Amino acid sequence: MTKFSDLKLDPKVLSAVADAGYETPTPIQAGAIPPALEGKDVLGIAQTGTGKTASFTLPMLTLLRRGRARARMPRSLVLCPTRELAAQVAENFDLYAKNTKLTRALLIGGVSFGEQDKLIDKGVDVLIATPGRLLDHFERGKLILTDVKVMVVDEADRMLDMGFIPDIERIFQLTPFTRQTLFFSATMAPEIERITNTFLHAPVRVEVARQATTGENITQRLVEITPARRDQTAKAKRELLRALIEAEGETCTNAIVFCNRKVDVDIVAKSLQKYGFDAAPIHGDLEQSQRMRTLDSFRDGSLKVLVASDVAARGLDIPAVSHVFNYDLPMHAEDYVHRIGRTGRAGRKGTAISIATPTDDKYLSQIEGLVKMEIPRAETPESFELSEGAKEPPRKREDSKGGRARGPRGRSRERGEERGGRERRRDKDVEAQEVPAAEVSEAKPAPAAPAPEADAGADQDSRARRARGGRNRRDHGQAVVGMGDHVPDFLTRSFRPSKTEEPAEDGAES
């Protein structure tokens, strides 16, 4: 069996590894470290939780043991998709480089530029950064990348999901062509493969497991629920989540609950807190200091349940997570592999339980197609029963005045029917108005000429109706055709000069 002492690492690095309690490398470490020490490009493909961080940290420290850093010119570069993962890589560097004089700087968002500029100005051997913050420093003229000898891209598939691929390509172009590249990913999407073909030079491919596989030491279960009311789906899922956590009992020492949306992370965390669970949220909208405090509390065991978005799904190394709960099935199948990979790390046993509703059928089929297995179905806990609010059918809201049922926008259906009746009557009136005058005269004999007094009275009545607007008048007499006798004078005038007014031409009769 291969041991770290067989991998030709620097003695100072080996002593730090021994102090950390490690003797035997994982398969990805045993496969990636030897070619990396030879200066070759490495393409590492392995599922999460297999020790990829040490696969590039240990050889990088050995390669950088000679030479010294210059101001603003780092000697190696490590790119990470999230702040948490970058901070974790920095912790690993501090652990394994404690017996060396190598320095490092961490460039992530949520931290002032001034402190980071001071570290860069002193000169660092290892620069660990997220792509956005790295380019910010470069564009401000605070960073020069022409001395980078080793470049590492960690969690490349997550970079793709987060839209960082254009930034990665630009950073590749800013670094020397002669650099050594260590490229690690859990899956190989076509875009990732295109980048490796473009920027890596004859890489040694190290694939320790089939792409997108889940750990065999993780027990997976899927609990399906069909709420009686669609508008109460979220409430039913929160009730089921609490029941599942309680049903695990003492075996659930701590857990990560994953949600698809940030707003759901906050809602689920508050719901768990309300019912006595020790829970806290973590997502991208929180301050960096708060996110780090929450993670530290979860690592040291003072926090039992971490409710997270996918910002925590990639790369976080918290070895003793006993359970992962998928409150929402992920919309991207690859995220399922990374989520449940937060448990069962370093050979430990783990449990992953997912909640699914009928609307999740599409996501479920994609996940099962990716992992090449059917997730075992499980029944809801015996003590679980939906609350009355989640079981009742939709109720009709009562009108405060007449008790009439209202539609989806609070509009009375009776009022809608009345309005529809008025519209139909108006349509009939319009049809009556459009009857030609000739048909009206044939259908109804012309009335006798009224007396002059009647005409005057009728004119007064019509003028009064016009003054009131005349929109709702209901005349049951003769239908009015056109404008009647009330055509404005200017409409009857001709604005064309008559022929008699045209100037007479020479030789023409006037």
Domain limits, the chain: 4-207, 218-388
Centroid of chain to Cα 464 = 64
Are the C-beta atoms of 86 and 80 separated by less than 8 Å? yes
Q: Is it true that 4-207 and 218-388 share their CATH fold?
A: yes
State the pLDDT at residue 84: 86
pLDDT over 90 percentage in the chain:
51
36, amino acid identity: A
Q: What average pLDDT does this structure show over 414-419?
A: 46
What's the pLDDT tens digit per position in 289-299? 898 899 889 98
Residue with the larger pLDDT of the pair 293 and 288: 293
Strand order in the sheet with 323-326: 279-282, 305-308, 255-258, 323-326, 350-356, 218-224, 377-378
| pLDDT of 414 above 50 | no
| pLDDT of 103 above 90 | yes
* Mean pLDDT across the chain: 81
Q: What average pLDDT does this structure show over 435-453?
A: 46
Q: How far is CA 428 from CA 161, 270, 302, 423, 507, in A?
A: 60, 59, 76, 9, 61
For 4-207, CATH number out of 2.40.37.10, 3.90.550.10, 3.40.50.300, 3.40.50.1980 equals 3.40.50.300
Strand order in the sheet with 42-45: 104-107, 126-129, 76-79, 150-153, 180-185, 42-45, 204-207
Q: What average pLDDT does this structure show over 12-32?
A: 92
Pairing of strands 279-282, 305-308: parallel
The dihedral formed by the CA atoms of 18, 20, 26 and 28, expressed in degrees to the nearest 10: -100
pLDDT bin (cut points 50, 70, 90) of residue 466 is low
- Of 124, 303, 92, the residue nearest 292 (C-alpha): 303
pLDDT bin (cut points 50, 70, 90) of residue 42 is very high
How many other CB atoms are found less than 10 A from the CB of residue 191?
12
| pLDDT of 10 above 90 | yes
Q: Which range among 231-245, 258-272, 291-305, 425-439 shows the weakest confidence by mean pLDDT?
A: 425-439
User: Among the ranges 63-67, 177-181, 461-465, which has the highest mean pLDDT value?
Assistant: 177-181
State the pLDDT at residue 395: 57
Q: Phi-psi bin for 365: left (phi > 0), alpha (psi -120 to 50), beta?
A: alpha
Helices (H), 313-436: 333-340, 361-371, 388-391, 413-433
State the pLDDT at residue 212: 57
Are the C-beta atoms of 279 and 302 separated by less than 8 Å? no
Structure tokens given for 188: 């190989």
Residue with the larger pLDDT of the pair 409 and 283: 283
**CB-neighbour burial class of residue 131 (10 A; exposed 0-12, middle 13-18, buried 19+):** buried
The dihedral formed by the CA atoms of 11, 17, 22 and 25, expressed in degrees to the nearest 10: -70
Residue with the larger pLDDT of the pair 42 and 408: 42
What's the pLDDT tens digit per position in 239-254? 999 999 999 999 999 9
- Of 88, 10, 101, 18, the residue nearest 52 (C-alpha): 88
pLDDT bin (cut points 50, 70, 90) of residue 470 is very low
Residue with tokens 């493909």: 45
Q: Measure the CA–CA gap between 505 and 510, rounded to whole angstroms.
A: 8
Residue 469, φ and ψ in degrees, nearest 5: 110, -35
pTM to 2 decimal places: 0.65
- Number of residues written out for the chain: 510
CATH code of domain 218-388? 3.40.50.300
| pLDDT of 438 above 70 | no
Q: For residue 241, what are the contacts with CB-CB under 8 A and spacing of at least 6?
A: 257, 268, 272, 325, 327, 355
pLDDT bin (cut points 50, 70, 90) of residue 404 is very low
| pLDDT of 485 above 50 | yes
Q: Which range among 54-63, 326-335, 344-353, 421-430 shows the weakest confidence by mean pLDDT?
A: 421-430
